[in-house]
Structure 1
């Protein structure tokens, strides 16, 4: 049995799934269809994600942590709710909006990620990992 970490990028058309061992060795890196993905309600979304995790993770391997970037998780509260649902089903998880994956994917510690497509969103974090807050009076 191998302990693994799973990373998920849940978008409107595809779900990216990466599985790595604790030493960082890549075990799987696949793309699955996600036309039926919805982040709400959180319980249904958690079960949807788990069904896909179980398709990719080898039988007998143990998932010790899950990181999720999810289209449709547009508030901190919603991200926490989905993480809670995943944890309640046995998968310790951290959930962020999928746009939050852009800055670290570019190898940066701080920045603003913008997705402009069928849906649009912008998120950012400073070098300490704190989300940027809008300036007072901005709107």
Structure 2
């Protein structure tokens, strides 16, 4: 939104060559459009990059967590590490990427902190389905992103 509020006034150099100034004006508009596109479309590529980074991190983290699943379960007191709150899924959500959760209406998701604030700012939460947490007790392997606006905050 900030990009669109920039006035499109271009101060042209003092010259008799008007065509040169017009080209400069067009270039300015293109860069504004590119910035606006980056603002909207950049989130997809950033999300996929973040997703692949998360995958690499998950693979690294799963090895140590397998060594100590019992102690992690005891200290977590029936909730995943960093547990924030529960949400109920209001609409089915089909994962488009491997770092997202497949959710059905009525699922309960335990929300945990996101790896990046960019995910949260874009309206995505990180969590693990309560049923999978209770069954596997492995947040790193089963966590994923999901759209916050598909859910309802539970008390």
Q: Normalising TM by the smaller chain, what interval? A: under 0.3
The structure in which a higher percent of residues are helix is 2
Please identify the structure whose Cα radius of gyration is greater: 2
